[in-house]
Each structure stands twice: as structure tokens, then as C-alpha cells.
Amino acid sequence: MRKTIIGLAAALLAAAGSTLVAAPAQAAPLRPVPQLDVSRYLGQWYQLAANPAPFNLDCVRDTTANYTLIDEQNIRVENSCTTVTGERRGIVGNARVNDTAALHVSFPDVPSQDSLDGPSNYIVAHLADDYSWALVGDPSRLSGFVLSRSPVVDVADWQEIRAVVEAQGYNSCLMLTSPTTEGMQEIRPLCTV
């Protein structure tokens, strides 16, 4: 555990040394993909990389999201991860479809995120043709997540992921890899992968 925490601290320091902003101030808001087949998007996703955020700093391994259809406009969101203490923790929320690939995700009892309705804060900005991986974030790019159907990707996939993250206006040095039991074992800036 100590090694994981030290690794996380080193990765955060390396990322902070690169630059302190997630995206250029003049960048246009993150735009959704033109088409999203919600039925194909449902199911389990593994987080491969993410912009660090207070709500997921204690998640050190096997972070997942599971999406289940409630009705035409609502999707059940179940996020879970393994924490620094080795325990699994999770939270259940709701994603309301505002527009094709722009959703409002809310979680009960989370300040400022407990309303079912609101502006889109979950934008599917990139989606592989076969729905094998996606880049999602909020319009300002403060949050950003690389999600994959598999916990393991090869070197060529990592290069494609990094290129897409950068093309979408994210700083790949501020996005950190998310260890998975079967895949990448360390936390490091995406720009170094």
C-alpha cells in the first residue's frame, strides 16, 4: 500500500510539473460524438486513465462503471473501485440523457450532484467504432476518463488513446493511468505511456 501511495504522489508531482491546467482556457467546450447507441454503451467499463479528482483519489485499482438501462431517459450508474486499504467501495447514481451523447450524471447525497436534472456533465467525446473504448468528460475538461471494455490494452491501443485524449484538448500529462489487476499495474501520467 505504501508503494502505491508513493507512486500516486510521484505521478501527481510529475503531472503538476508539466502544467497546472487540464485544457487551454480558450478551448471550446468538449463536444459529444454525433451518435450514441445507448444499448451498445450499456454494461461494464474499466477505467484505464482519469484526471485526478477528490472523489476518486483513494481508488487505486480496478475502477469500473456499470451502466444499466432504467427507461428511455435514465441509466443506472454503478461505480466501484479498490481503495488504498484494499477494500471495494462503490456508489450508485443516475445518468439522464440530455442529448444523444451528453448526459447529466447525479449521485444521491453528494453535494451539488444530487439533482436528477441539470446540465450535461458527462460527455461521450470519443467512442471506438466497435464500442471497445471511450473518452468521456465534462464540458470544461476538468473531469476526464478513458473507459474500456477490457482491463487490458496493448501498446498500440495506448498510443491511440493518448492521441485521442490530446486531440480532444486534454493534457495527457495530467491524466493518470488507472491500474487494473490484469492490465497496467502502475499509476503514471498518460503522456509517459
Domain boundaries, the chain: 2-192
Over pLDDT 90: what percentage of the chain? Answer: 78
Is residue 133 over pLDDT 60? yes
3-state class of 143 per DSSP? Answer: coil
Please report how many Cα atoms fall inside a 13 Å half-sphere around the Cα of residue 27, on the Cβ side: 19
Model confidence at 26, in pLDDT bands (50, 70, 90)? low
DSSP state of 148: E
Q: Which CATH superfamily is domain 2-192 in?
A: Calycin beta-barrel core domain (2.40.128.20)
Residue 44 has pLDDT above 90, yes or no: yes
Identify which of 35, 49, 29, 22 has the alpha carbon closest to the alpha carbon of residue 161: 49
CA distance 191 to 8: 15
Question: CA 78, 81, 86: angle at the middle one, nearest 5?
Answer: 145
pLDDT band per the 50, 70, 90 thresholds, residue 16: very low
Q: Is pLDDT above 90 for 144?
A: yes
What is the pLDDT averaged over residues 36-43? 97
Q: What is the DSSP letter of 56?
A: G
pLDDT over 50 (residue 92): yes
Residue 7's pLDDT is what? 43
CB 100 within 8 A of CB 90: no
